[in-house]
Amino acid sequence: FLIGLAIGWLSRFCYYWAGSHEGLSFGEQLWASVWTFDRIRILGVMQRLALCYGATAIIALTMKHRHIPYLIATLLVGYFILLMCGNGFAYNETNILSIVDRAILTPAHMYKDNGIDPEGLLSTIPSIAHVLLGFCVGRMMLDSNRAESREALLNSHLIKLFLVGAILTFAGFLLSYGCPINKKIWSPTFVLTTCGLASSFLALLIWIIDVKGYKKWCTFFEAFGVNPLFMYVLGGVLSILFGSISFPWGDGSISIHGFLYKIVLMPIFGETGGSLAYALLFVAINWCIGYQLYKRKIYIKI
């Protein structure tokens, strides 16, 4: 959690340092960039990962694993009841999620979007269920490693994983008529649908890569896979820097993002195509950095 908070502060530091501080001395610029604790966001993606992984670890160590599916169902049903009773699907400050976050975190330390923090306190409840579902799938795959042959793995655990994925996905979409799929509030149907799709896709990848042995096509993605958290943070920091660092251009100034999109790519590919081209270019830049770590077998883990 503290590492996530530090990364959030680092991102905000990069944002303010790269921003315009006209008329300020170097010391004043440095202070304005460093001292952002009065408005730093307390919760975030990394912090949520820490809270959910920590809770899941405690549950996995203290609870019988065969009871975990019942706990997952209890968390999701209980959260759904909370949303229904607390106007949890409203996109404004009357939402129970917003009320709790504003009371505990205060607005200065929240994500600014109609008073709703997508990584808020109450929405951490279904997120824990999310990670617990992943734990159950991981246990299933660890058991599959004890299979005597690839055929046994395919016939038993992969089929089970495909079925679990299909059931979760179908249940998520079916229940979405009464409980919309919504990431911002981390609705129970969002948990079911994403876990279901991920389970089915994981089973498909295991079948293609491990069972059939088709591995060359996925080499590109290994640079992201071996350092996922580092690559995530790198993408966020580079995005801030590209959007904040400006240089003289014509009669004014332009950011790195603006130059690449408006000057280089949009005249060639158009507005929509240029946006796609910039996204692909940004992924390629991140991959180049990640590949250097991958090639040197440098794995940054938390």
Confidence label for 128 from pLDDT (cuts 50, 70 and 90): very high
269 pLDDT higher than 60: yes
194 pLDDT higher than 60: yes
147 pLDDT higher than 60: no
User: What is the Cα–Cα distance from 143 to 153, expressed in whole angstroms?
Assistant: 10
Please give the pLDDT value at position 157: 79
Q: What is the pLDDT of residues 68-89, one digit of tens each?
A: 999 999 999 999 999 999 999 9
Q: Which of 41-45, 94-98, 144-148, 227-231 has the lowest mean pLDDT?
A: 144-148
Please give the pLDDT value at position 108: 86
Confidence label for 281 from pLDDT (cuts 50, 70 and 90): very high
User: What is the Cα–Cα distance from 54 to 289, expressed in whole angstroms?
Assistant: 30
Q: Which of 23-37, 160-174, 257-271, 275-289 has the lowest mean pLDDT?
A: 23-37
Please give the pLDDT value at position 15: 58
Average pLDDT, integer, range 103-118:
89
Confidence label for 113 from pLDDT (cuts 50, 70 and 90): confident
Q: What is the pLDDT of residues 148-190, one digit of tens each?
A: 555 565 657 788 889 999 999 999 999 999 999 999 999 999 9
- Rounded to the nearest angstrom, the gap between the alpha carbon of residue 295 and the centroid of all alpha carbons in its chain is 25
Percent of the chain predicted with pLDDT > 70: 84
Q: Which of 114-128, 133-147, 222-236 has the lowest mean pLDDT?
A: 133-147
Please give the pLDDT value at position 287: 95
Q: What is the pLDDT of residues 39-67, one digit of tens each?
A: 778 888 888 888 998 999 999 999 999 99
Question: What is the distance between the terminal CA atoms of the chain, rounded to a whole angstrom?
Answer: 11
Q: Model's pTM, two decimal places?
A: 0.82
Average pLDDT, integer, range 92-114:
91
Q: What is the DSSP string of the chain?
A: -HHHHHHHHHHHHHHHHHS--TT--HHHHHHHHH--TTT--S--HHHHHHHHHHHHHHHHHHS-GGGHHHHHHHHHHHHHHHHHHTTTT-SSTTSHHHHHHHHHT-GGGS--STT--TT-STTHHHHHHHHHHHHHHHHHHHHHTT-SSHHHHIIIIIHHHHHHHHHHHHHHHHHTTTS---TTTT-HHHHHHHHHHHHHHHHHHHIIIIIS---GGGHHHHHHHSSHHHHHHHHHHHHHHHHH-EEEETTEEEEHHHIIIIIIIHHHHHHHHHHHHHHHHHHHHHHHHHHHHHHTT-----
Please give the pLDDT value at position 282: 95
Please give the pLDDT value at position 174: 96
Please give the pLDDT value at position 50: 87
User: What is the Cα–Cα distance from 190 to 127, expressed in whole angstroms?
Assistant: 10
Average pLDDT, the chain: 86
Higher pLDDT, 86 or 1: 86
User: What is the Cα–Cα distance from 160 to 200, expressed in whole angstroms?
Assistant: 10
Tokens of 163: 């079925």
Domain ranges across the chain = 1-40, 48-214, 216-302
Please give the pLDDT value at position 7: 67
Please give the pLDDT value at position 126: 96
